[in-house]
């Protein structure tokens, strides 16, 4: 077999495939050929695989593995596959254990009358004395032996010098990535970007094509890089901006940190740094070193290496590259000032131009989160903006956003313009999370739990909408209350007329029901909660009611889609308009019963928004409302 001269790379590539678990038969064959054909390659392969094995062992410690990274070794388990080779088999042990010597006899005779028949008289004889002395000597020897064992055991427990440390080799971290907005890293395929929100190590380079990246140093200093930008972390208190823009903020009174002695400003790339007792944050560029004096400032560097510093707060010191001649020029810039430094032409030193700061041209520290919110609003933010607009509607009778009022957790606020008069009173409140992060909801489901409202309004046209997440359907023949007026079909103990009072609920058969009390009309949707998949998810329910002197009309919606409805047949005549009065959300109060002590018909689930319009919304608008606020 002929081995090609340049085999190292090929060997490493094949071994790499073995490490990554991607080897195929041809690769196995080729690896064997290389390894068997050359002793040097064989040793390289062995070392490479040992490095890989070592790294595997060190890296995965703690993930259900024993012995720091390797599978837990259960010494009590026999896998059945482990083979013990019989004594005498061809096992070459380099250092065979020496044949064991029999344990020495104990150094003193045993005190047994069976072994030492006692002469008479024994006690007091020379034999007895000899025996006692021997026993004493033996005990002393035993004590010394035990001490020696203890000593050896102590040594045995001490870790060997070459015992591996569990700690990872120490990198010096100076901060973390604390903000990212639309970051696009360099296109260079050989540039490996950091993981999101990683710790920031010394000498790490950040090359952004676009977007914003915020680094917070451990000292508290914050830097926002704006792509396109190349920035390298030079020390615990600064870095090198080769190209692009950054904003830095270092609050005054920050505790001092050891920082690198800044390299010469005209050095294109940082070399190894020296710890320097300076305590000030700095940014180095191709033409200047900007040292913070307790401030916020921006720096930009163009491709020609021209640096411009803008001071937004406080002061900075700007030191120019001296071109090797004399002491470098140092100036201080104050609030609203800028300093631009260009490379000197024709061998001359750099030039400085003072001007006004351009604060609007930089993303300021503290603006990143807001910017991220504007560019990528969270569902909660989007909903809040939409909710704010909704409240302005004239036809909105009541709007419960189910956001917990921290000043009174027993109140369910009405956010419509109709105001506090329609606030609800929560009984046995259970505030829970709603349909997206930051959204609140109320959980219903047990006797006595619900929200009391009183809306003494009659409507010829009505739209009810709610976001509901059901855990379960009620048991037959019951219903789970969405919005139910008190009492039912009777004058009631207060002798009030209940005719036309609204009952909007979910029935045990998975249909949605809209009923007007006192035989004034009853309508159901088709079954919509008819399988387990509909439970445990947020759904948007809506019902539209339009009064008619002969027949009224009702339409049901689920998630913006029509799911049933039609003409509502009234048993009693004349037909009545819909009305509310005292009612409950999430339950029903049976006011027929003077002895009734708590609400019933609990809804088995959560509600996180409920709206009452005194108009009949069109299907398109209901669909739009659903789309605008869906999770």
Site residues for other proteins, 152-211, by CB under 8 A, read 152, 156-157, 160, 162-165, 168-171, 185, 189-190, 192-195, 198, 201-205
Shortest spacing between CB 272 and other proteins, in angstroms: 12
Size of the site for other proteins (CB under 8 A): 85
**Is residue 140 a contact residue for other proteins (CB under 8 A)?**
no
Task: Give whichever of 233 and 365 is closer to other proteins, judged by the CB atom.
Answer: 233
Residue 472, token pair as written in the block: 């379960």
Between CA 37 and CA 43 the distance in angstroms is 12
Nearest distance from C-beta of residue 298 to other proteins, angstroms: 26
The string of DSSP letters for 536-589 reads TSEEEEEEEEE--SS-EEEEEEETTEEEEEEEEPPSSSS---EEEEEEEESSB-
Q: Using the 8-state DSSP alphabet, how is residue 281 labeled? A: -
> Using CB under 8 A, which of 7, 10, 30, 52 touches other proteins?
52
Q: How far is the CB of 229 from other proteins (least distance, A)?
A: 17
Peptide bond into 10 cis (omega under 30): no
Q: Please report, as residue ranges, which positions from 4 to 33 form the binding site for other proteins (by CB under 8 A).
A: 12-13, 15-16, 18-21, 23-25, 28, 32
94 is an interface residue for other proteins by CB under 8 A: yes
The CA distance from 296 to 606, in Å, is: 48
Per DSSP bridges, beta strands 238-250 and 282-284 are parallel
Cβ-contact 336, 354 below 8 angstroms: no
Task: Please report, to the nearest 10 degrees, the dihedral formed by the alpha carbons of residues 173, 174, 176, 182 taken in order.
Answer: -110
Q: Which stretch binds other proteins (CB under 8 A): 70-78, 216-224, 279-287, 375-383?
A: 70-78
Interface residue with other proteins among 2, 4, 5, 91 (CB under 8 A) is 91
Shortest Å distance, C-beta 16 to other proteins: 4
> Which member of 53, 141, 258, 571 binds other proteins (CB under 8 A)?
53
Q: Considering only residues 312-331, where is the footprint of other proteins by CB under 8 A?
A: none
Give me the least distance between CB of 223 and other proteins, in Å please. Answer: 17
Kindly tell me which of 188 and 620 has the beta carbon lying closer to other proteins: 188
96-135: which residues touch other proteins (CB under 8 A)?
97-98
- Per DSSP, the residues of 619-631 read HHHHHHHHHHH--
82 binds other proteins (CB under 8 A): yes
Name the β-bridge partners of 440: 433
**Residue carrying structure tokens 């070592």:** 54
| Member of 2, 4, 5, 83 binding other proteins (CB under 8 A) | 83
Which residues lie across from 444 on neighbouring strands?
605
Q: Write down the residue that tokens 């950091």 correspond to.
A: 194
Scanning residues 580 to 609, which ones bind other proteins (CB under 8 A)?
A: none
Alpha-carbon span 85 to 439, nearest angstrom? 67
The whole-angstrom separation of Cα 351 and Cα 340 is: 8
Report the alpha-carbon distance of residue 331 to residue 350 in Å, rounded. Answer: 13
CB of 141 to other proteins, least distance (A): 12
Least CB distance to other proteins at residue 20 (A): 6
Should residue 71 be labelled a site residue for other proteins when binding is judged by CB under 8 A? yes
Q: Which stretch binds other proteins (CB under 8 A): 95-103, 219-227, 489-497, 521-529?
A: 95-103
Stretch that binds other proteins, among 79-87, 361-369, 494-502, 587-595 (CB under 8 A): 79-87
Distance of closest approach, residue 44 Cβ to other proteins, in angstroms: 7
Cβ–Cβ under 8 Å, residues 337 and 357? yes
Strand partners of residue 217: 175
Applying the rule CB under 8 A, the residues between 368 and 397 that interact with other proteins are none
For residue 503, state whether it binds other proteins (rule: CB under 8 A): no
- Please list, in sequence order, all residues whose beta carbon lies within 8 angstroms of the beta carbon of residue 628, skipping any fewer than 6 positions away: 386
Q: Smallest distance, Å, CB 261 to other proteins?
A: 20
- Cis ω before 213 (30° cut-off from 0): no
Rg (CA), the chain: 42
Least separation in angstroms between CB 144 and other proteins: 10
Q: 84 vs 620, which CB is nearer to other proteins?
A: 84
Contact between 545 and 564 (Cβ < 8 Å):
no
> At its nearest, how many Å lie between other proteins and the CB of residue 232?
10
- Which of residues 127, 139, 149, 275 is near other proteins by CB under 8 A? 149
Nearer to other proteins, 52 or 315 (CB): 52
Asked if residues 295 and 313 have their Cβ atoms less than 8 Å apart, the reply is yes
Q: Which of 7, 10, 30, 57 binds other proteins (CB under 8 A)?
A: 57
């Amino acid at each position: 077999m002929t081995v090609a001269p340049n085999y190292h790379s090929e060997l490493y590539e094949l071994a790499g495939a073995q490490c990554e678990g991607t080897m195929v038969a041809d690769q196995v064959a080729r690896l064997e050929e290389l390894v068997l054909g050359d002793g040097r390659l064989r040793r390289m392969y062995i070392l490479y695989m040992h490095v890989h094995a070592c790294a595997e062992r060190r890296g995965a410690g703690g993930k259900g593995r024993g012995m720091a990274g390797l599978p837990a070794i259960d010494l009590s388990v026999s896998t059945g596959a482990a083979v013990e080779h019989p004594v005498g088999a061809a096992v070459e042990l380099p250092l065979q254990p020496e044949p064991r010597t029999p344990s020495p006899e104990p150094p003193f005779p045993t005190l047994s009358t069976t072994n030492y028949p006692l002469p008479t008289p024994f006690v007091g004889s020379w034999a007895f004395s000899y025996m006692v002395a021997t026993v004493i000597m033996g005990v002393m020897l035993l004590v010394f032996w035990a001490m020696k064992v203890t000593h050896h055991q102590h040594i045995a427990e001490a870790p060997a010098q070459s015992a591996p440390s569990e700690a990872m080799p120490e990198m010096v971290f100076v901060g973390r990535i604390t903000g990212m907005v639309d970051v696009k890293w360099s296109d260079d395929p050989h540039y490996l970007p950091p993981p999101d929100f990683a710790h920031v190590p010394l000498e790490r380079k950040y090359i952004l094509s676009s977007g914003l990246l915020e680094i917070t140093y451990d000292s508290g200093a914050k830097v926002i890089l704006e792509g396109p930008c190349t920035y390298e972390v030079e020390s615990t208190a600064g870095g090198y901006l080769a190209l692009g823009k950054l904003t830095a903020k270092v609050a005054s009174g920050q505790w001092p940190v050891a920082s690198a002695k800044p390299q010469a400003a005209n050095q294109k790339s940082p070399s190894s740094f020296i710890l320097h007792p300076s305590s000030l944050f700095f940014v180095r560029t191709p033409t200047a070193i900007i040292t913070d004096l307790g401030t916020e400032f921006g720096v930009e560097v163009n491709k020609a290496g021209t640096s411009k510093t803008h001071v937004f707060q406080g002061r900075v010191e700007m030191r120019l590259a001296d071109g090797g001649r004399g002491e470098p020029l140092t100036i201080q810039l104050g609030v609203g000032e800028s300093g631009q430094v260009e490379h000197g032409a024709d061998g001359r030193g750099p030039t400085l131009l003072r001007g006004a700061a351009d604060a609007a041209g930089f993303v300021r520290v503290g603006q990143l989160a807001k910017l991220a919110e504007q560019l990528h609003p969270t569902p909660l933010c989007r909903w809040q903006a939409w909710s704010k607009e909704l409240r302005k509607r004239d036809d909105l009778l009541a709007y419960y956003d189910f956001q917990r009022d921290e000043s009174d957790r027993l109140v369910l606020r009405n956010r419509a313009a109709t105001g506090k008069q329609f606030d609800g009173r929560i009984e046995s409140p259970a505030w829970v999370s709603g349909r997206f992060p930051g959204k609140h909801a109320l959980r219903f489901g047990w006797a006595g739990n619900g929200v009391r409202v009183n809306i003494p309004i009659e409507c010829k046209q009505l739209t009810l909408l709610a976001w509901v997440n059901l855990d379960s359907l009620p048991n037959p023949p019951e219903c789970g209350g969405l919005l139910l007026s008190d009492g039912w079909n009777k004058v009631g103990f207060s002798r009030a007329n209940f005719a036309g009072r609204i009952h909007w609920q979910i029935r045990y058969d998975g249909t949605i029901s809209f009923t007007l009390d006192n035989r004034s009309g009853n309508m159901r949707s088709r079954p919509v909660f008819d399988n387990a998949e509909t439970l445990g998810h947020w759904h948007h329910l809506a019902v539209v009611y339009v009064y008619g002197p002969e027949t009224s009309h009702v339409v049901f919606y689920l998630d913006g889609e029509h799911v049933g409805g039609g003409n509502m047949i009234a048993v009693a005549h004349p037909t009545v308009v819909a009305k509310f009065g005292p009612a409950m959300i999430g339950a029903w109060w049976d006011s027929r019963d003077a002895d009734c002590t708590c609400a019933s018909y609990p809804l088995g689930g959560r509600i996180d928004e409920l709206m009452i319009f005194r108009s009949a919304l069109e299907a398109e608008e209901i669909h739009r409302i659903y789309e605008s606020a869906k999770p």
